[in-house]
Amino acid sequence: MEYKEVRHRRINEWHGHMDLSAGLDGPDSPGSEWLDSLGLAFNGAWDAGRFPTAGDHDDRGETNEYGSDVIAELASASVSVYTHERWQVFLDVCAYSSEEAEEILKEGGVTDPTAWAGDVLDRMASNAGQRWLAERIEAQAEQDADAEAPEEVEEVEEVEEVEDSNSEAAAESPPVCARQSAATQTTGPVDATPAPQAGQPARTESQDRPGRHR
């Protein structure tokens, strides 16, 4: 699979996790770059064992870190510190119409629009990261279940092979009575002429015996 296709799928995946209501300006737009960077960061953390592979985001991974802490770290790191870049992403993903934007406004205390835009993007990335992790944990559980299934199938196939070999051996070996009967048979054609009894001459037929006339 080509890199562009993999990247496109990764962007679409995180677009779905964000539950964005509008499309992006293009595959190379600021919003697309942001979603792609999130996908790469979260995939890398998963491969490094920083996320739990069972349970939920409140459990620990192999590195003994809580999944929720890793999500918060990656979400915050994804938000650009540069004002221009932050607003480019904010507008491209239509973050102003997101539930996170409305929630933060309702919480009050917004005095700096640029800081508010950063908080909105941070919370959007965090919520999307939780959804992403939940799907990865579910997929891992299915993968583990599928990995155990072939062993059970192999055991069943082994039992069937033993039963088949026993059946073939039974078919090749005739019953006892059949073997005994075969042992008493003689080779060659069977003579239909009965054997002469004691005290009686053997019966012979003349070649010139006349036929019976009416």
**Is the per-residue pLDDT at 191 higher than 90?**
no
User: What is the tens place of the pLDDT at every residue in 13-35?
Assistant: 999 999 887 789 999 999 999 99
User: What is the tens place of the pLDDT at every residue in 133-188?
Assistant: 999 999 999 988 888 776 555 555 555 665 666 556 555 554 444 434 444 444 44
User: What is the tens place of the pLDDT at every residue in 193-210?
Assistant: 444 454 554 454 444 444
> For the stretch 163-191, what's the b/e string if a residue is b when 16 or more beta carbons lie within 10 angstroms of its beta carbon?
eeeeeeeeeeeeeeeeeeeeeeeeeeeee
pTM score, whole prediction: 0.68
Q: Are 96 and 76 in contact (CB under 8 A)?
A: no
Question: Structural domain boundaries of the chain?
Answer: 3-167
Measured CA to CA, the distance from residue 85 to residue 31 in angstroms comes to 10
SS3 category, 185: coil
